Amino acid sequence: MASGRIIFLNGTSSSGKSSIARELLDILDDGVFFHMAVDDFNAMRSKRELGAEELDAALRRTRMGFHRSIAAMAEAGNDIVVDHVLSEPWRLLDCLTLLRPEDVLFVGVHCPLDELARRELARGDRPPGLAAHQYDLVHGHGDYDLECDTSAASPRECAQQIKEFLPHRPSPTAFTRLRRHHLTDDREPLTA
């Protein structure tokens, strides 16, 4: 059985990843795609109050489980649209370790800080400043197969760009290059 394709959307909170993912599910017509969002995994957790240390441990386990769920779905032949925030270096390393790099189309979802702040305020369901905190962290690895700017293009236009690019994924992919850089040489790996 062939592994499924993974369209991996990475960007800050409120950058437009979920909107792009919904549009992709609507326009992709060459397979059956599933949208897997880290926020959905966080929402599955019980609602009892946790202390800071316990919450950090639970969030780390949640994200590790999310990464493994992506890998399992793709390994079973499912095509996936991933909606994630790689704001801690270990998250990228974990994904690089678990996912077949040749199956991943790595998409950077960008949006200027002032627009992120406006969206965050309008949403009202995110702590103020969350996107600004994540801004330099999520794209710190510096390598994508494709990038889009949701302040310059609608979610539908970004999805269309991704759809048109999907059959022409580069070789090696960004995940392949990042894996070589971070996992198979003598450089210091990303940590934390």
Residues designated catalytic? 39
Whether 172 and 106 have beta carbons less than 8 Å apart is answered as: no
Check the CA dihedral 55-56-61-67 and report its sign. Answer: positive
Strands, sheet with 146-149, edge to edge from the N-terminal-most edge strand: 33-37, 79-84, 6-10, 104-110, 146-149
With a CB cutoff of 8 Å and minimum separation 6, the contacts of 66 are: 36, 38, 41, 84
Residues 76-100 as b/e (b if ≥16 CB within 10 A, e otherwise) read eebbbbbbbbbbbbebbbbbbebbb
